[in-house]
Structure 1
Amino acid sequence: MIRSIRIAATVLLLLVGLAWGAAWFRAAPGEPLGQSFARLVAGAAPPSAGGVALPGGVSLGGPFALTDHTGRAVTDADYRGSFLLVFFGFTFCPDVCPTELQTVAAAMDLLGPQAARVRPLFITVDPARDTPAKLAEYVALFHPAITGLTGTPEQVAAVARAYRVYYARATPAGASEYLMDHSAFTYLMGPDGTLRTIFRPGVPAEEIAGALRAQLGAPARS
């Protein structure tokens, strides 16, 4: 069973790597790599001026039913009408999760009053440990606008599939607690629930804020 999971994870990581390579080769002049990747996944035409507006018909994201960090049952419909910055991780994450959440928090601060139209969502891939109370404690460390989301293992698996997020439990040698291997992209979703762009790990807050400003100033999609 463990060997099968490792093989599947290796294949998935290889496919993601190939996709990023294809995105690099097929990027339009001046197009950020994350937006080229999103366009490749969506099978869409190159982004419009500003490099962030993507046409509809994308295959990432979708309906979900989860529980927020206040204990309230929520669905994707509760966030419709706002731009979303969606990141998957877990509260015991030692490195990438706090780093990316700090970047999201900095991007929100850079937006100023425009940040009121953006909802950052932190969706756990470790529902066994990440209760609403634990998430509330964790997201409060980064920014008051960030909402933590958890659910049953089945609910989390469903939303992870919708965003094509890889995650698996792993216990390092000599460790007493397990960690979660997971992909670490940040998804920018439009008010209509469609993907606008994907930010790779390590993208600076200024780039995220710039992409959001371009979207916030663009006409709403019908």
Structure 2
Amino acid sequence: MNRDTMAPPIRFKSRLLCIALAPLFLAACDASAPAPPPEEPPLAGADIGGPFELTGEDGKTYGWDDFDGKYRIVYFGYAYCPDVCPTDVQRMAQGLRLFETESPELARQIQPIFITIDPARDTQEVVGEFTDAFHPRLLGLTGTPEQVEKAAEVFRVYYQKGADQPGGGYLMDHSNFTFLFGPDGAPLATLPTDLGPEAVAEELRKWVK
């Protein structure tokens, strides 16, 4: 077979392929092409968060509106928790520290908040000692059983007193979401404390602007 007779069709097909792909490359290089729409926060529109009245570790009374203009990290737990709470809070705090190192100005716009679901034992002093062990800006909140119940309700948090332990005391059953809220108090996302500090920092990079 004469190889020369096959060459022109192959070259012709190559030219057609280049012509067909040219608009795609031009579009990719066109700075005026519209940017993709911004990603919507996973919790956008969710009915999570709202008014409450609780007492801080500093003895002051706090409501949800006191944090207007701040991003807010909110975690419900209890100081006597033997494992889940300290692990979650530690990873959250470590992730926040990573973000503080990279973006100190943005990080200052974040208020981390710990709300007890065990007000019978978690006094102002107890929640203060607990939060101070993780991050200097982590604010611990407590209150009456009724105040804590109302706060948990508006944040869609489950909790219940568990059975008494053989050595004394008791555990608390509870959900362990770490919520991130925007400056307007609207929910944005949950922070993946189960994946470690770097995953928490990555989620903060995504939504804190």
Q: Quick one: which amino acid aligns to residue 195 of structure 2?
A: V
Query: 1 or 2 for the larger relative contact order (CA 8 Å, sep ≥6)?
Result: 2
* Residue 134 (str. 1) matches residue 123 (str. 2): no
For residue 65 of structure 1, the aligned residue among 49, 53, 60 is 53
Deviation at 1:50, TM superposition (A): 4.9
Gaps of 5+ in 1: 1-47, 218-222
Equivalences, count: 169
Structure 2 counterparts to residues 5-16 of structure 1, below 5 A: none
1:181 maps to 2:173: yes
Quick one: which of 110, 132, 136 aligns to 1:144? Answer: 136
Give the equivalent residue in structure 1 for 2:76: 88
Q: 1: CA distance between counterparts of 2:53 and 2:140? A: 13
Given residue 183 of structure 1, which amino acid in structure 2 is its aligned partner?
S
Q: Percent of aligned pairs with the same residue? A: 42
The offset of 1:98, in angstroms, is 0.5
Match of 1:155 among 144, 147, 172: 147
Aligned-partner SS, 1:109: helix
Larger radius of gyration: 2
In the TM superposition, residue 104 of structure 1 has moved relative to its aligned partner by 1.1
Q: Which runs of 5+ in 2 are unaligned?
A: 1-36
Give TM-score scaled by structure 1 length. 0.71
Structure 2 Cα separation of the partners of residues 175 and 167 of structure 1: 22
Q: Which residue of 2 aligns with 1:74?
A: 62
2:192, 2:135 → 1: CA distance?
A: 20
Q: Distance in 1 between matches of 2:130 and 2:114?
A: 10
Letter in 1 for 2:161: R
Q: Measure how far apart 1:91 and its partner are.
A: 0.4
Matched AA of 1:130? D
Provide TM-score, normalisation by structure 2.
0.76
Q: 1:108-147 CA deviation, whole Å, 9 max, x = no partner?
A: 1111203211111100000011111111111111110100
Deviation per CA, 1:83-119: give whole Å up to 9, x if none. 1110000000000110011111111111120321111
